[in-house]
Amino acid sequence: MRALYNFALELAGPSDAEDLVHTAVLRALERWDEIAGRQHLRTWLFVVLRNAWIDSLRQRGRRGDVSVNDPAASDLGCAIPAAEQTAAEQEWARAIWGALRSLPETYRVPVYLRDVEGFTYREIGEILGCPIGTVMSRLARGRALLRAQLLAQVQERGWQPKRKTGTQGHEL
């Protein structure tokens, strides 16, 4: 359930995430007979959640509340657990999440599903309803965009990566 909620946060933000999870679970329970024998229940739940999110965007778009293409419609409002992290680690974590949030949805969602939730390419394809080749392409492009944004932040903030040294004390 926690992973499902985190994905809902990724798609809809904190204001709608809980409702989205409730809708997805309710839909899953309504169709329990269809899914009882499924091997990949987790993947199927993510598909149901994503479809519920799309439905909610369509409904809001019809009411004029938000455009389906509005970037704010899929803002990531995920809190970063940082109780035991140092201030520097917290800042870096916020930079990473901020960079991930700023990616276009087309790239952000596959990167999130693979690198945060650990889904396989096939499972991501099922969740997003696209071929594995498309998943691979979006992941590569999304990761490249994320890497470029993080590098820009490192340079902008003057952060220096730790240099590794060998046993002789020479820089590697």
| CATH classification of the domain holding 148 | 1.10.10.10
Residue 89 lies in a domain: yes
Q: Are residues 38 and 86 in the same domain?
A: no
Tell me how far apart the alpha carbons of residues 147 and 80 are, in angstroms, rounded to a whole number. Answer: 20
Residue of 47 and 69 predicted with greater confidence: 47
Tokens of 31: 């169709």
Min mean pLDDT across 8-22, 70-84, 103-117, 128-142 is at 70-84
Tokens of 119: 């889904």
Band (134; pLDDT cuts 50, 70, 90): very high
The reported pLDDT for the residue numbered 18 is 86
pTM over 0.85: no
The reported pLDDT for the residue numbered 1 is 80
Give me the amino acid identity at 143: R
Tell me how far apart the alpha carbons of residues 25 and 48 are, in angstroms, rounded to a whole number. Answer: 8
Tell me how far apart the alpha carbons of residues 125 and 47 are, in angstroms, rounded to a whole number. Answer: 10
Domain-terminating residue out of 24, 48, 79: 79
Q: What share of the chain is helix, strand, coil (3-state, %, to 5)?
A: 70, 0, 30
Residue 167 lies in a domain: no
Residue of 25 and 33 predicted with greater confidence: 25
Owning domain of residue 114:
82-159
Q: Are residues 10 and 74 in the same domain?
A: yes
The reported pLDDT for the residue numbered 87 is 52
Residue 135 lies in a domain: yes
Q: How many residues does the chain have?
A: 172
Q: Quick one: what percent of the chain has pLDDT higher than 90?
A: 19
Band (66; pLDDT cuts 50, 70, 90): very low
Tell me how far apart the alpha carbons of residues 85 and 81 are, in angstroms, rounded to a whole number. Answer: 8
Band (116; pLDDT cuts 50, 70, 90): confident
The reported pLDDT for the residue numbered 59 is 75
Q: Are residues 73 and 1 in the same domain?
A: yes
Residues facing 171 on adjacent strands? 165
Chain centre to alpha carbon of residue 141: 15
The CA-based diameter of the chain, rounded to the nearest angstrom, is 67
